[in-house]
Chain A
Amino acid sequence: MGMQQSMIAIHRLKKTYISHGQEVTALQEINLEIPRGDIFGIIGMSGAGKSTLIRCMNLLERPTEGEIIIDGQDMTQLSDKELRQMRLSVGMIFQRFNLLMQSTVEKNVLFPLEITRTPKKEAKKRTMELLELVGLGDKAGAYPAQLSGGQMQRVAIARALAANPKVLLCDEATSALDPMTTTAILDLLKNINKQLGITIVVITHEMNVIRRICNQVAIIDQGVIAEQGPVGDIFTNPKTDAAKRLFRPNKPETSGSKKALRLIFAGQTIYEPVISGMIQACGVPVSIISADIEQMGDGIYGQTTIEIPEDKEAASRILDYLAEQGVTTEEVMASCQNHK
């Protein structure tokens, strides 16, 4: 993919903080291409450098080295004034909403329009449209403290969209919300992406967020991108330990001593009776250790862990059969008490 196509291109980004006279390297060397119109997830454990990375994108943190190119503009080369201009096209929402607590909902959404000196009448009209879009048409006169967390994040989203940005950066935007509210906010973001075509970057430590709305995901670990690609691909075939830790959390297989086989179903295979077919075709009974189905990006994925038969020949028949059916397999260690 060429540079022209990417909405955001990050090259050799490095960020070190000086903290108590000591250098702390938050980002070692980040290279990332975020396509136009995408919902791009960046996931990582606490302290991995997620917030630092997203804050470097709009230069809330100044990178120590490297380039941040948004829509063809290298953000690190801009003067203060040019940077402020550029920031109008990069909206941002935060974990703790960061609303003006002494201003009404309407005034909050008006804020970016006051900055751009939009004529009053037009600004007011746009504000009402945005509040309708986020489902808060009746709350214009309320103060943030009178709203729930989910409603406050909706106001923040409306505010971030006011200046018609091309990009929306979300730093743990749902981490302070309960699961139901999280789902509603994620659906709203997905809608905004579809309706307005805005490129959305989502920073999170929650797998559910990635699964629900992201098309592509990058895994950040100790200041580097460990792995990136379409969400479904990384789910079916995580290569790095960092990806496995995130995409296969707390599965019984990770701690056992018995050899087992994990089958990953993607696309059509999920709807087919692969296991019963396998038992018939290979003539060997197998026991199932665990199974589940998950929504990932635009697809549905399933995984089932089965015991591998002692008989070497039967085991290879099973592997051949599964390969024929287009099922991805992976050998894992399972603990014995998880079946029978």
Chain B
Amino acid sequence: MSESQMIALISDGTLQTLYMTFVSVFFSYLLGLPLGVILVATGKDGIMPMPVFNNILGTIVNVVRSVPFLILMIALIPLSRFVVGTSIGSNAAIVSLVIAAVPFIGRMVESSLLEIDHGVIEAAQSMGASPMQIIFKVMIPEAVPSLITGAAIASTTILGYSAMAGAVGAGGLGALAIRFGYHRSEPLIMYITLIILVFMVQFIQFLGDYMARKCDHRK
């Protein structure tokens, strides 16, 4: 294989991985953030306690989270086909990635929101704030640094999942590593993809930590 072919393969894989990760993180948060908020708000000490609903939701979250990602991918092939019209490629993988990540992100958001001092929420209640106002003007703004830290962890996890998705036809760096490293024993490509993945994780983590620190006004 020529050098330019190799570069083309790798840059193409990198872009695909970035695309899968970015789009998955976006849609996962679109669903996971409200899920986390609902888990907290309807909890026993929440601002709108609904114990039965909260229990059911919590159980669903736990069940989805306990299915290993690869098995979930395979189980979701029909769904992917239905949503994006195909069961292979990056878009199909995004469907599975989002479904796997939403419960995980829901729990991350939940734990960030639970870190907020309950006294601040009470103060807002004492001022006549409605549950919606408390969510949007108190809980989320107060939890921003922790939510960013959580988003960095979630993004690196989704990045890892997307590489795994390469094993079942998702494309991207994961697929390259498996195709050349495992099946065709061209270890150089595998090592390069590994280095790029490590670099991406480092970068996301660094950016997350930096932003979380930057927007935390507690000290």
Contacts and interface: CB of A to CB of B under 8 A. Distances in A.
A246 to B, nearest CB: 27
Interface string B161-190: 000000000000000000000000000000
A334 interface: no
B127 A87 contact: yes
A111 B124 contact: yes
A98 B217 contact: no
B218 interface: yes
A66 B70 CA distance: 59
A143 B126 contact: no
A94 B129 contact: no
A13 interface: no
Interface string B121-156: 011111111100100011001101100000000000
Nearest to B48: A80
A103 B141 CA distance: 8
A145 interface: yes
Chain B interface size range: 20 to 34
B128 A84 contact: yes
Contacts of B125: 60, 87
A278 interface: no
Contacts of A94: 119, 122-123
A144 B120 CA distance: 13
B126 A96 contact: no
A144 B216 CA distance: 12
Contacts of A90: 126
Given A92-B123, A99-B120, A101-B217, A111 B128 contact: no
A84 B123 contact: no
Chain A interface extent, by class: 20 to 34
Contacts of B120: 98-101
B124 A102 contact: no
Contacts of B217: 101-103, 143-145
A60 B120 CA distance: 13
A114 B215 CA distance: 22
A102 B119 contact: no
B219 interface: yes
B128 A100 contact: no
Q: Which 7 A-B pairs have the closest CB atoms?
A: A98-B123, A87-B128, A98-B119, A143-B217, A92-B126, A84-B128, A112-B127
Given A87-B126, A91-B127, A99-B123, 17 more contacts: A87-B128, A94-B119, A94-B123, A98-B117, A98-B122, A100-B138, A100-B141, A100-B142, A101-B217, A102-B215, A111-B127, A111-B137, A143-B217, A143-B218, A145-B217, A145-B219, A169-B126
26 contacts: A58-B126, A60-B122, A60-B126, A84-B129, A86-B128, A98-B117, A99-B120, A100-B120, A100-B138, A101-B120, A101-B217, A102-B144, A102-B215, A102-B217, A102-B218, A112-B128, A115-B128, A115-B130, A115-B133, A115-B137, A144-B217, A145-B218, A145-B219, A159-B127, A160-B127, A163-B128
